[in-house]
Amino acid sequence: MNTAELLVRCLENEGVRYVFGLPGEENLQVLKALSGSSIQFITVRHEQGAAFMADVYGRLTGKAGVCLSTLGPGATNLMTGVADANLDGAPLVAITGQVGTDRMHIESHQYLDLVAMFSPVTKWNTQIVRPSNTPEIVRKAFKIAQSEKPGAVHIDLPENIAAMPVEGKPLERDKRDKSYAAYQTINEAAVAISKASHPLLLVGNGAIRAKASDALTEFATQLNIPVANTFMGKGVIPYTHPLALWTAGLQQRDYISCAFDHTDLVIAVGYDLIEFSPKKWNPEGKIPIIHIGALPAEIDSSYIPIVEIVGDISDSLTEILRRSDRQGKAPAYATELRSDIREDYEQYATDGEFPIKPQKLIYDLRQVLGPEDILISDVGAHKMWIARHYHCDRPNTCLISNGFAAMGIAIPGAIAAKLVHPDRKVIAATGDGGFMMNCQELETALRVGTAFVTLIFNDGGYGLIEWKQQDHYGESAFIKFGNPDFVKFAESMGLKGYRVNSAAELIPTLKEALNQEVPAVIDCPVDYRENYLFSKKSGGLNCAI
């Protein structure tokens, strides 16, 4: 047995089902070991796609997704997806090939110090230099990647080390017991909540990672506390729940801003500052905050909790609920605010204008997809509308890259989502800019049998940057480009291609595309004049309710 074979045995021991990557000279030994493994190696068309697949796999399963590249340019291509996983709290293990240790002291073909390079974008990374250390390194990598807050780790394997003979076996996986919050902090939180007149729950992705949706919904229901979620906290409470105020996190004022204006206590549950900066909702640092999470609160001048409850989130919520004597209905402002939010949402249900308004496009998406189906958003102007208008019944049914906010994630992410949940419908929502960054992975999707729909919000430019430019300067520059015929592009790859020509065609087209046995691409012109109209409306938003 050589080091590469021992590495693969360790991956099998960790329960790895897929490795996403590209073959190269310096990972030949690992590829040979994988060819005789129970692990399925999925050959991608670009290393960035491999990392995004591992990223989304980790986010959906809670188990580290694994991606593999060769050295040099293969490793640099991998970095964007690795960084995305690290900032979005998705467990990921990246493995790179490397030149032999006998070549590292000289200028060598394609050689980069990958341990130094990956250090800023990972929780931990190392190079295997002793074959016998492989089981310890792999076990440590997975433990760190999957521990709260999850993130990315990196293992660098020189080619001469990979080929060396070794004896050893995988280490037994340790069992992690839950940790529970101190009763003193729970009691302090219960007292503060009982005294608050207008408390507000702000829920982030940490609550989803902790599988605390049921406990959170019960907590909010019993104590009559309205709930806002971050972009990455969608579905933690059903959007149809009467206390759900939907999504916070836009950089501009919106209806949800009124809730923060009125509250006298924010209860942040599984909330990470990177999801929605507290300087946006607590700029003067005057709102009292209770922090409930698996880890202590991050330091920020606008986020200084009066009490921190650190431990298992579901247990913390249950124990606080038992000790709280808050009674009565939800604050009147919250009821009125929810009515305004829903009215704004519903007004686009019958909108027939073309090109289609983004609000209408996303409204129709919600009508077509079931509660358990999955929407993966790329990054661009459409992401902001999805964040605002696409609402969820279940956790992890709308995935948005928001920590690193990396364009190009949707199509690779949809492949991973379909591998994890082959029985669910999956849509990759992307702009035409994001589509062209990783559209080559549609060939991968076809080859591995993951039939999902890619919906292109087509405006012929970088719409989000145009929106920002218009807001800042009243004009835009350098954001327009040309596109191929997306229908012919899809058909040339053996996929189904569609073009939407009216608002009335969208739902029938989506339904037909979702029933295909091969991946499908829908080209849908979108009217992003709505971006500027929203900015104008939000600037004059009146919270006198």
What pLDDT does residue 47 have?
A: 98
pLDDT at 501 over 80: yes
Residue 499 is encoded by which pair of tokens?
């073009």
CB-CB neighbours of 102 under 10 Å:
10
Overall average pLDDT of the 18-32 stretch: 96
Backbone angles phi, psi at 305, to 5 degrees: -65, 145
Report whether 7 contacts 138 (CB < 8 A): yes
Residues of the chain with pLDDT > 90: what percent? 87
Residue 6 is encoded by which pair of tokens?
């021992």
Which residues does 397 contact at the CB level (< 8 Å), separation at least 6?
234, 235, 371, 372, 373, 374, 375
What pLDDT does residue 534 have?
A: 85
Per residue in 260-319, pLDDT tens?
A: 999 999 999 999 999 999 999 999 999 999 999 999 999 999 999 999 999 999 999 999
Overall average pLDDT of the 514-522 stretch: 98
> DSSP characters for 91-142?
-EEEEEEE--GGGTTS--TT---HHHHHGGGSSEEEE--SGGGHHHHHHHHH
Per residue in 348-376, pLDDT tens?
A: 999 999 999 999 999 999 999 999 999 99
What pLDDT does residue 539 have?
A: 59
Backbone angles phi, psi at 456, to 5 degrees: -95, 120
What pLDDT does residue 254 have?
A: 87
Per residue in 73-117, pLDDT tens?
A: 999 999 999 999 999 999 999 999 998 887 777 777 778 999 999
Which residues does 126 contact at the CB level (< 8 Å), separation at least 6?
115, 137, 154, 155, 156
Q: Work out whether the CA dihedral 179, 182, 185, 190 comes out positive or negative.
A: positive
Domains of the chain: 3-162 (3.40.50.970), 183-331 (3.40.50.1220), 347-537 (3.40.50.970)
Q: Which of 305, 363, 335 is nearest to 243 (CA)?
A: 335
What pLDDT does residue 544 have?
A: 57
Distance CA 334, CA 316 (A): 25
pLDDT at 328 over 90: no
What pLDDT does residue 57 have?
A: 98
Per residue in 177-204, pLDDT tens?
A: 789 999 999 999 999 999 999 999 999 9
What pLDDT does residue 540 have?
A: 59
Distance CA 233, CA 269 (A): 10
Per residue in 436-453, pLDDT tens?
A: 999 999 999 999 999 999
What pLDDT does residue 444 have?
A: 98
Classified as helix, coil or strand, 81 is helix
Residue 516 is encoded by which pair of tokens?
């295909």
pLDDT at 121 over 90: yes
Evaluate if pTM is beyond 0.85. Answer: yes
How would you classify residue 57: left for phi > 0, otherwise alpha for psi between -120 and 50, otherwise beta?
alpha
Overall average pLDDT of the 1-23 stretch: 98
Average pLDDT, the chain: 94
Overall average pLDDT of the 498-506 stretch: 98
What pLDDT does residue 93 have?
A: 98
> DSSP characters for 217-261?
HHHHHHHT--EEE-GGGTTSS-TTSTTEEEE---SS--HHHHHHH
What pLDDT does residue 542 have?
A: 67
Distance CA 307, CA 185 (A): 6
Residues of the chain with pLDDT > 70: what percent? 98
pLDDT at 239 over 60: yes
Per residue in 137-191, pLDDT tens?
A: 999 999 999 999 999 999 999 999 999 999 999 999 988 778 999 999 999 999 9
